[in-house]
Each structure stands twice: as structure tokens, then as C-alpha cells.
Structure 1
């Protein structure tokens, strides 16, 4: 049985202890240490051979992304980001994190993430991790290219997100609040969570989205059925207020079309 030497990194001690308790249910995990900052984590990594890091993103002084640049190329551990903020998901996958867990971490999702790490260990992706490390250090401003085709398809009433590494996710169109773009990725926002899929906005527009979906910005498509009101701004721009209270910017290019639908 594979046993993963694991490091927990989070600036909140309670978060570390909570995750440590959950990990006791997994015989494959051996927690060899914890750290409450990037600098503390580097000291542990210099002292131990670590297979897996559960890594918080937003920490004082240095973010979790800073730690990745300090990994030794010949011994890059697998990384699972654990954070309370979904907006970092795209960058996390660009640096090839094996998974991205939102706090509070559910035991079922934790099990899925650990299983993914075990499969990766068996496939020995260390060469790929070395390349990622080098790319990140040499030129952090250039996003990593994403290989492969789009990992989604449309059904009559659902958006289906699928890839080889994750369970198939079936998202009813009626539950989607809005979709926004970040490079080669799309963030699909629902009331419960945010799903990340590999795609481009133009690709989505070429497919047949339900008529309730409308582009309101160069990087945003909204589900019209969730808009509560439009608030005017200067220069013919608006903010769209959703039923959830979320506000989205409507650029001048798309405002006329949207406004006509609310007369």
C-alpha cells in the first residue's frame, strides 16, 4: 500500500487540526508535519521528503502559490489546494494542482482527492511536475498551455463537465447563475459551488446555450432568469443584480441588448 508523507500548510491552526483529524481516516496518509506560513513550510520541505502537500492559498506575507516556486525540481510533491475562496481555482489548475478543495472540506471530496494522488503516484508524473516547476520559476507571467480538447458537452437540460481525472459533473442549466472566463478555463457558478472546466467563451457561444443565457461582458455570460434588476452606471454601462445579491458588470457593448429584454 502506498503511504504518502504529507505536509499541511495553513495559517490557521484550527484549519490544520481539522484537516489532520479528517486525514486520520486514511491509512495511505502519514502527516509528517505542518506549517503556518510559506517560510515554515520550506523548512519542513528541506528536512523531509514530502509526497503530498495540502496547501492554503491566502496566507499572510506569502501566498500558497509562492511555495510552489520553492519546490526542488527533482522532488516535487503533489499539491492539493485547500481554500475558502473559489476565485483561485483557475490559477491552481494552471500550476497543475491535483485537486482544489473548498473549506469546509467534505470527507467524500477529501477521499476523491487522495485517490487521485494515489493514482498519480502510480503513474509517476514526476517529469511533468518538474516541467511545471521550471515554467513557473522562469516566467510566472506566462500562463501554462492547456493540452487536450474541451471537457464538456450539452444535454437537453444540462451542462456535462467531464475529463479523465474527475467524476462527471452534471449541472442543470437552470442552476447556473453565470459563467465567466479566465484564459482557457471557464468558471461555472451555481448557488452551491463553482465548477471549473477547460473551455473558451467563444467555444461556448458556438454551442447551443439555452435562450436564457446572454453575454453581458467580454468575459461573462449570465442566466437571465436569475437577474433581479439592472442598475445604470455612467457611459451606458450597468450592473446586473442577481437574486442571490451578486452583482455583475454589463459593458456598454452588450448593455443595449440586455436592457431591451427588461422593458
Structure 2
């Protein structure tokens, strides 16, 4: 069978690496290359490829926005291409979606292309709109909805603090303290307002005055009267309210999954 393929990536080196290996495959009909999202949308509409190698992280128009512009029901099969971004890779793996992490080996590319061929050969409908792909995209959109960096004032400057660097957060009246491994920043915001903007998969409120980064938890110890003590990887110990059962279960589940 002949498979019409379009390559979309804003990095010329990455495009060249994909194109070089596609040209070596007799089953592939290379339809073209696109260096941005807008030209990708035009090419997909005009050429109707069977398969698209689609970069997720492109300026101006991302890979997700390309899919939105085409419409998920009209998208061809997709192999997502990304520089290593942990959350994106987890979303693809969790939903059994084909992807390539740049830079990739010849063996990795061959395995990914082989899976794409198999899916195209057994799926006579529209393989690009599988439930797995839609779920992966929803996971990525959800990630974008949560805070990634928090602006804080340091002297006369504004510093953007990545939320992943936060170990725990302490409420202090109408401000909060962002505790990092080596410093503390004060932010003029209420605990409740900040909690709504943090990814609940990564942050848990264990007390009315404390939110922790669940990935920084080292141990959870029972205390008394239903309370527990959470030990963070910095050595900080925080008391967990006995009413925070949901947070406690999330912490236990996360730690078990990481082992």
C-alpha cells in the first residue's frame, strides 16, 4: 500500500531527520513538509494525507491548534513529535498514542512508523479520530489550563517561579508563602484562590493553611486522633488534617504508583 505522509515541524533539522527516513521506505508517498501550523492546515485540507507527523510545540500555532482548525473528525492518522516534555509524553503513553521524542533513533522511528502502518491497514475508517488521541489531547489541554509559572516580586524585579519548583505553600492571612527548596517567596493572593489554579494531580491541600507538592512527599506517618504527618524531601514536616481524607488517599496512591 502507498501511504501519503505530511511532515509538520518548525525545526528544519527535525523535519529533515523525519523526511530522510520516510524517503527510504517504499510504502511512503511523501506529500510535503510544513514549518508552521498555518501551512500545515492548508496542506492537510488540500492534500488529504493518510498520516501526519505533527510537532506539538510550534510558535504561533501549536499542533493541538492545527487539529482544532481541521476538526478532530477530519484529521488523518497522527504521530505526535515533541521535544522531551514529561507531561506530554505521559499523556501519549497513557492513551496508547504514537509519538516521537526529539532527538530519536533510527530504531525508534522505524518502530513508530511500523505501528502507524499497522493501524492504517486495519482501520478503514478515520484512524486519526480514535478515542485514544482525543483523550491525549484533552489531557494536554487540561495541563495548559493549570498554572505553570507564578510571577512574584523580588526587590524591583518580577520573577516567574515554575510551580514544579514549589515544595509547599503556607497561608498567611491574605497572602501565601511559596516555599521552594532554598528560598521563600511571598505572594499577595488567598490560599483558596491559588488552590483553584493549581493542578490537583500535583498539589493537595492537607490543612487549611498548607498545600503540598505531592511529588515532593518522602513519607506519611500516622500521628494521633486521626491526624498524619507528611514529611517532604526537604525534611520539612507538616501536619495533615484528619478531615483531608481525599488528599491523604491521593498521596498514598501517588507514592504507590511511583514505586
TM-score normalised according to structure 1 size = 0.49
Bigger Rg, structure 1 or 2: 2
TM-score normalised according to structure 2 size = 0.50
Q: Specify which structure has the higher proportion of helix.
A: 2
